[in-house]
């Protein structure tokens, strides 16, 4: 654990919870809070105030993340940083409140982890410039979902009904992405853009493939629900694409308030291009060759041959994602993907 300084807050209306570093080890440290705990970067001239946890490290932002607890005991975490905050390994969208439950792990910057614990007694642990940007290189699987024939839909459907329908559908799809351990980066008109971070062992690829099936099924269900999809005589159908590869992720916005994520990498562009290859004959989910190579023992694919995506200088093999292999369990959210 990096060296830290911490001053406990005054007791508040909410019950005490704590962040735990190195739980279950001789080096375990607990940092109690009630309503609010702010995590930031320590530096020699910084004055420590109650309810503040300062961590030494150049990749920690001056104000990195804030935990908040309501009087009813509900907790949230909000990322304010340049180098990111993760919850159980899933990168959070900056400046968005995300629910935080006892037992979950908050990770700031480069691998500094705290577990949330509840019902704590107040006790203080001994205390031990601009943020240095850590290159946000990661190996990610990008998922893009696009509403079919959206241009035609815009011309035919009442704008209010269409806007309400798309908003409702994307809200439900976002919840499903989170349930499967992913992060929704943004919406681009008629498209949802999500990603799963991981390593070369490919577990994030498995999660993303499972999520793709769940999202497609959910979209079809919502399309049959007249309260959710209010556009009569125009069924909701979506095409999906998965692309896997190295990307660079960073926060967007000024130092006082981060407003979103930027993601740069071939996998991002490829996912948006591959979605255009989906047809009734291929099925709704298209995957790149890297996704196929890392998921083929868990999922069945159909080789669609070589296709040259727009903007790429050479063709590559493209695959239709068909479903889990017979020996594999049915898709389920979260957990161990193996």
Give me the domains of the chain, ranges plus CATH numbers: 4-118 (2.60.200.20), 137-324 (3.30.70.1230)
Q: Is the pLDDT of residue 126 over 70?
A: no
Ramachandran sector of residue 92 (left: φ over 0; alpha: ψ -120 to 50; beta: rest): beta
Distances (CA, A) of 223 to 28, 230, 233, 283: 50, 9, 11, 17
Give the confidence band of 201 by pLDDT, cuts at 50, 70, 90. confident
Cβ atoms of 298 and 254 within 8 Å: the answer is no
Q: Is the pLDDT of residue 132 over 70?
A: no
Average pLDDT over the chain reads 84
pLDDT for the residue numbered 338: 40
Q: How many residues does the chain have?
A: 338
Give the confidence band of 304 by pLDDT, cuts at 50, 70, 90. very high
The residue-averaged pLDDT of 269-285 equals 94
Classify 218 as helix, strand or coil: helix
The residue-averaged pLDDT of 316-323 equals 94
Tokens of 44: 């020699």
pLDDT for the residue numbered 328: 56
The residue-averaged pLDDT of 266-273 equals 92
Classify 215 as helix, strand or coil: helix
The residue-averaged pLDDT of 177-192 equals 90
* pLDDT tens-digit series, residues 113-125: 999 987 544 344 4
How far apart are alpha carbons 203 and 141 in whole angstroms?
10
């Amino acid at each position: 654990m990096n060296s830290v300084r911490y001053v406990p807050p005054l007791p508040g209306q909410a019950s005490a919870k704590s962040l735990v570093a190195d739980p279950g080890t001789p080096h375990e440290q607990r940092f109690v809070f009630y309503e609010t705990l702010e995590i930031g970067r320590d530096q020699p001239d910084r004055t420590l105030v109650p309810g503040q946890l300062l961590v030494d490290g150049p990749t920690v932002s001056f104000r990195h993340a804030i935990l908040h607890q309501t009087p009813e005991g509900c907790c949230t975490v909000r990322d304010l940083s340049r180098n990111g905050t993760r919850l159980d390994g899933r990168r959070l969208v900056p400046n968005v409140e995300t629910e935080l439950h006892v037992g979950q792990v908050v990770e700031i910057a480069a691998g500094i982890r705290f577990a949330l614990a509840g019902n704590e007694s107040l006790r203080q642990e001994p205390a031990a410039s601009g943020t240095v940007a850590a290159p946000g290189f990661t190996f990610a699987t990008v998922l893009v979902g696009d509403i079919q024939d959206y241009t035609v839909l815009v011309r035919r459907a009442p704008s209010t009904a269409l806007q309400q329908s798309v908003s409702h559908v994307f809200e439900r799809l976002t919840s499903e992405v989170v349930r499967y351990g992913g992060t929704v980066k943004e919406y681009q008109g008629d498209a949802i853009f999500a990603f799963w971070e991981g390593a070369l062992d490919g577990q994030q690829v498995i999660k993303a493939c499972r999520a793709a099936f769940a999202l497609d099924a959910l979209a079809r269900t919502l399309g049959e629900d007249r309260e959710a999809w209010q556009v009569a005589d125009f069924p909701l159908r979506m095409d999906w694409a998965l692309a896997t590869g190295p990307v660079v992720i960073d926060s967007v916005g000024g130092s006082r308030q981060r407003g979103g994520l930027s993601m740069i990498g071939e996998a991002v562009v490829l996912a948006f291009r591959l979605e255009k290859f989906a047809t009734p004959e291929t099925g709704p989910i298209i995957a790149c060759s890297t996704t196929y190579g890392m998921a083929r023992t868990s999922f069945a694919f159909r080789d669609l041959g070589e296709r040259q995506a727009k903007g790429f200088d050479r063709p590559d093999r493209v695959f239709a994602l068909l479903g889990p292999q017979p020996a594999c369990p049915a898709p389920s959210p979260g957990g161990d993907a193996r």
